[in-house]
């Protein structure tokens, strides 16, 4: 009888232990599924996937950003978007990236429909994030598509549309420009036989979101820096207006003055190939002497193929003895002669100036 009671007691203990094990196992399984669900909602969600991209840009880790599925567009995708298939990736470097802080998820909306190539589900998410670019608030929208699972447990994602931008830069009256401290030449990727043009343009793959400061500064030309926030994939266009700086204008002024001074050395009434001269109907009795009383003030504006100075007034001075054909009186013509001069200036590849009268 005692043995039987002991057996029954042991059996009850084993039953309680089994129940406890089962309960613990259920709780563990539940916790595991809850953890998986939480990770899928946070880390492995569409928003979490985009956050990985933004975090990589924030720490200037370009390799990690570019390694995410769907970031780098294929040649076919670029062609379909109306872009050259061989866009240079010169700007896809850490040194060009701006500061991204305050990254905050705004919304993550599901939009059923046809997704991009490579996604195995029609589920597409539109994810919007807010952040500060160099301290300035901005937002950007991303399209993300489901791309299967990791280990049949965690959701996998890819960008349905690349988040990269195509930055089209037109440099007016020049070829080079600087962007976030990096100097580029728009003609670097042009065909070898491409003609030299007054203004030039090129397109580059660029990270978005980012803020790019674009300018031009050289010995003769300057363009004020402009800050361009790029917060969308696809094309963003910007123009750099390189205008003559004080050094350029001063150099042209010096060369124009020297040209006029040379004209003034000619001891004739109509200096050859010069913008000034005088007609005298009386008899000239001495060698004419010229000087420049007032030089035209150089102003330059961009034309179609060169920098132009419009017809600008100046004054030459002549001194010459003349005898009247009417009564034979001798007098001296000592007077200013107004004139106007217009010029065209071309900047050579070596930085030299070619100045022509118009």
List, for residues 261-307, the tens digit of each pLDDT value. 999 999 999 999 999 999 999 999 999 999 999 999 999 999 999 99
pLDDT value, residue 81: 85
d(CA 115, CA 120): 8
CA distance 210 to 241: 22
CA dihedral for 292, 297, 302, 307, sign (positive or negative): positive
**Distance (Å, whole) CA 164 – CA 209:** 8
Whether 116 shows a pLDDT value over 60: the answer reads: no
313 alpha carbon, distance to own chain's centre: 40
Query: CA 261, CA 178: separation in Å to the nearest integer?
Result: 39
User: What's the pLDDT score for residue 118?
Assistant: 42
Residues of the chain with CATH 2.60.40.1120: 166-243
Q: Answer whether residue 210 shows pLDDT above 70.
A: yes
Topology (CATH) of 46-164: Nuclear Transport Factor 2; Chain: A, (3.10.450)
User: Mean pLDDT, to the nearest integer, of 344-357?
Assistant: 91
Model pLDDT, residue 117: 43
Tell me the average pLDDT across 201-208. Answer: 96
Give the pLDDT confidence score for residue 194 in this predicted structure. 83
Domain with CATH 3.10.450 in the chain: 46-164
pLDDT tens digit string along 218-232? 999 999 999 999 999
> Quick one: DSSP state of residue 304?
S
Close Cβ partners of 17 (under 8 Å, ≥ 6 residues apart): none
Given a cut of 50, is residue 33 above it in pLDDT? Answer: no
**What is the pLDDT at residue 27?**
46
Token pair of 135, please?
Answer: 């301290």
User: Domain 166-243 in CATH: superfamily?
Assistant: Carboxypeptidase-like, regulatory domain (2.60.40.1120)
Instruction: Return the percentage of the chain with pLDDT > 90, whole number.
Output: 72
């Amino acid at each position: 009888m005692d043995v039987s009671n002991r057996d029954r007691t042991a059996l009850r203990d084993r039953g309680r232990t089994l129940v406890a094990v089962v309960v613990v196992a259920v709780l563990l399984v539940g916790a595991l599924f809850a953890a998986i669900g939480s990770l899928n909602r946070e880390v492995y969600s569409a928003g979490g996937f985009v956050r990985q991209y933004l975090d990589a840009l924030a720490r200037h880790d370009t390799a990690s950003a570019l390694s995410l599925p769907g970031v780098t567009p294929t040649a076919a995708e670029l062609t379909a978007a109306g872009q050259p298939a061989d866009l240079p990736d010169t700007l896809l470097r850490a040194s060009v990236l701006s500061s991204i802080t305050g990254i905050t998820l705004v919304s993550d909306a599901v939009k059923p429909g046809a997704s991009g190539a490579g996604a195995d589900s029609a589920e597409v998410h539109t994810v919007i994030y807010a952040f500060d670019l160099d301290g300035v608030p901005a937002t950007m929208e991303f399209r993300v598509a489901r791309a299967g699972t990791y280990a049949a447990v965690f959701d996998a994602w890819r960008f349905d549309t690349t988040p990269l931008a195509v930055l089209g830069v037109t440099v007016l009256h020049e070829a080079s420009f600087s962007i976030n401290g990096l100097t580029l030449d728009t003609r670097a990727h042009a065909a070898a036989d491409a003609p030299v043009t007054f203004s030039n343009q090129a397109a580059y793959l660029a990270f978005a979101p980012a803020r790019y400061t674009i300018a031009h500064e050289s010995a003769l030309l300057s363009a004020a820096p402009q800050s361009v926030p790029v917060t969308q994939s696809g094309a963003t266009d910007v123009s750099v207006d390189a205008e003559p700086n004080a050094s350029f204008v001063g150099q042209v002024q010096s060369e124009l003055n020297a040209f006029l001074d040379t004209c003034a050395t000619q001891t004739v009434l109509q200096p050859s190939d010069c913008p000034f001269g005088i007609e005298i109907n009386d008899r000239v009795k001495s060698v004419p002497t010229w000087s420049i009383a007032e030089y035209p003030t150089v102003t330059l504006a961009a034309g179609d193929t060169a920098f132009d100075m419009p017809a600008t007034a100046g004054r030459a001075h002549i001194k010459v003895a003349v005898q009247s054909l009417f009564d034979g009186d001798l007098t001296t013509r000592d007077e200013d002669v107004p004139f106007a001069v217009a010029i065209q200036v071309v900047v050579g590849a070596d930085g030299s100036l070619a100045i022509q009268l118009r």
